[in-house]
Structure formats: structure tokens, C-alpha cells
Structure 1
Amino acid sequence: MLNIGTDAPEFKCINQKGKTIQLSDFVGKKIVVLYFYPKDFTPGCTVQACSFRDEYEQFMEYGAEVIGISADSEESHKKFAGNYSLPFHLCSDPDGTIRKSYKVPVGFLSIFFSRITYIIGLDGKIAWAYKSNLAPASHVSEALKIVEELQLRNFQ
């Protein structure tokens, strides 16, 4: 995992709507909740994505954007987002370039990569990092606390 306080690596990806997004689109404008997950439609990933969906409005109120990244195709992300009404970006990283730049290790059976969530502050630095492969919903509750704290600091 990347260390807190380090510059978040720039990335560019295609989301489920076919739109190119990159980290620099958000730096200085929004806090970024960047979560890496193993695979669309798996039980844990569905729980995690739906938990982010359920709290998405709260993240938005705190000035944060949620971006999920896996190796799945844009088409898979489109179906996943459509089936579960996911309002945030899901980006495809088929060759693992983004995963590698964020030091997300390959996990279970060396097939899927690990479940890691980063929060990137307005300054483009890693403000928080969390890893838990077995408690997908905890990423959302923990991230929400940190985003709220960052938002409060930005207005003090």
C-alpha cells in the first residue's frame, strides 16, 4: 500500500459510461475515495459496491467522489452498475497499471487483486489507506468517517 502523505499517482481510465476520467479531474476540487476491488458480481464486491451506493449522497455532501477500480471490462462495469444502480465511477484496469501504481497486491489465489481503499485529499496526497479483503462493507463506513473528518478540516 502507499504511505499516507505521499502523492497519489495520476491515473487515467474509462468508466462504465465510456467516459475517460483521471485523477487530475478531481484534485483541488473533490476528495477522492478510490477503491480497488476484485471482481464485479462477486458476493463481497456486490456488498461493497452497494454499500458505497447507499452512502453515495453522504460522500457527495462531504465533497467526495467515489471511484471503483477492478480488472473487469467496461461492459462488465456497465452491467454491474446497471444491475445495482451504482451512481459512481467504475473503471477498468485490465492490465493492472493503476493497481500496480497504487501498490495493490494480487490477492486470493493470485487471480484477484486485494481490496484496498484510498482517500486522496484535495492536495492530491494519500490521506488514508485501508485494506480488508474479508470485510467489504467496512471500507465504506471507515472511509465515510475519514471523508467527514477531512471535510471538517477543510472548513476550519
Structure 2
Amino acid sequence: IHYPTSICTFITSLNKQKFSNSVITIQKKSFNRKFTYSNKMTKHNLMDQPAPSLVLQNQEGELVELKSFIGNGKPSIIFFYPKDESYGCTKEVCGFRDSYSVFSDAGATVVGISSDPVDRHKRFSDTQGLQFPLLSDPEGEARKLYDVPKTLGFLPGRATFLIDKGGYVRDVFNSMMDFEGHVKKSVEFVKNQVDNN
């Protein structure tokens, strides 16, 4: 998918700033529209439902089924992000990497999903030293299955699904700009799951 240069430049500039419940105006020729970004847990149609499963390739090119990461008596984190190696996505993914000991100690699984191809996932994972799988969703099947909302109506959104030990979606954090919030909410969720064991 290729996005207009002006939009990509806009997103890049946003990625270098931090917004919370802020209103952003884009102005270019006749295009003038306001968008509100809200950093919050989102009421989602998968809430309290079993987390969906499908088969995707990981960064090693292996076919894996999402359900192999879900349930099994341990919490799971599935996060969708727009693009490997972009500023915001690198910040978010590396946040999960840096907090991985929390997830590992709790026996929790962490899985990242984007539309990037396997070879790009492999390069990104190796460069950043990731300890968890990145799954390739080139056709957007997983995004549709998990009903991940788009940003600005057409850009791939950023959403994290917090799944309990029984494989049920308990919370969804949806924010394009609060990269650290996705990690923070995931850490809190996993710790609560362990405390309530």
C-alpha cells in the first residue's frame, strides 16, 4: 500500500510529538478536516469474546496459528502496528522488547502484527533484537478479523489486544500516537493477571 507523500510527512511529524485527547487540523489546498486522537481503552466488539485465530507467517517464514499463542493458562498480548522501521512503530516495538522480562516472568506471550512482508520483519526483528514473533498480514486478514480501526479513515491503525489466561479479549488499547501507552497497559494487564491467579 502506498500513501500520498503529504500524508506520510504528516504522520511522520506527528510521530515525533506526543498527543493526548488532542485535535489536529490538516490543511492542504481544499483539504481541511479535523481529527481527534484519544489515548484510551476502547470498547470493542471482541471484548469478552474468544480471541480469533488464523494462520500467518512469522519473521522466519514459518506458518503459525494465532491460537498457539492464546490461552493455555497464560495471558497474551497481540499488538497491531502500521509499519516496520518507522519512528513510532520502532518506539512501540522496542518498548515491548525492553519490558519483555515482565511478560516472560509471567509466562505471557507477545505477538506483533503488521502488513510488512516476511523479509522486512526478519530484518527489523534482527536489527532490534526482538524476543517475540512478528507476523506478516499482507492482505489485512488479521486486521479485519480483529476489527482494527483505521487512522484518518485509511491508514493502518495501532491497537493492542489484552487477552486473558482463558483466551478471552479483556481490553483493547487503541491509540495511534501513544506508543508507550500500548506497552504500559500491557504490562499492567499481565501483572494483574498474575496477581489474580
TM-score in terms of structure 1 length: 0.92
Contact 1:116 1:129 survives alignment (8 Å)? yes
Answering whether residue 137 of structure 2 is matched by residue 82 of structure 1, we say no
Q: Which residue of 2 aligns with 1:45?
A: 89
Contact 1:2 1:126 survives alignment (8 Å)? no
Note the residue ranges of structure 2 that are not aligned, 5 or more in a row: 1-43
Q: Which residue of 1 aligns with 2:156?
A: 113
Tell me the alpha carbon deviations over residues 40-99 of structure 1, each in whole angstroms, 9 at most, x when there is no partner: 000000000100000011111112111000000010100111111111110000001110
**4-13 vs 137-146, greater mean Cα deviation:** 4-13
Tell me the alpha carbon deviations over residues 99-152 of structure 1, each in whole angstroms, 9 at most, x when there is no partner: 001000222462x31100001112111021101100111100111001110122
Q: Which has the higher contact order (CA 8 A, sep 6+)?
A: 1
Aligned residue identity for 1:124: G
Partners of 2:152 and 2:52 in 1: how far apart?
Answer: 25
Note the residue ranges of structure 1 that are not aligned, 5 or more in a row: none
**Structure with more of its chain in helix, by fraction:** 1
TM-score in terms of structure 2 length: 0.74
Contact 2:161 2:172 survives alignment (8 Å)? yes
Identity of aligned residues (%): 35
RMSD after superposition: 1.4
Partners of 1:18 and 1:31 in 2: how far apart?
Answer: 25
Partners of 1:109 and 1:4 in 2: how far apart?
Answer: 22
1:3-152 correspondence runs (5 A): 3-26=46-69, 27-108=71-152, 110=154, 112-152=155-195
Q: Which residue of 1 aligns with 2:20?
A: none
Partners of 2:153 and 2:105 in 1: how far apart?
Answer: 38
Aligned residue identity for 2:158: R
Larger Rg: 2
**Poorly superposed stretches of 4+, deviation over 6 Å:** none
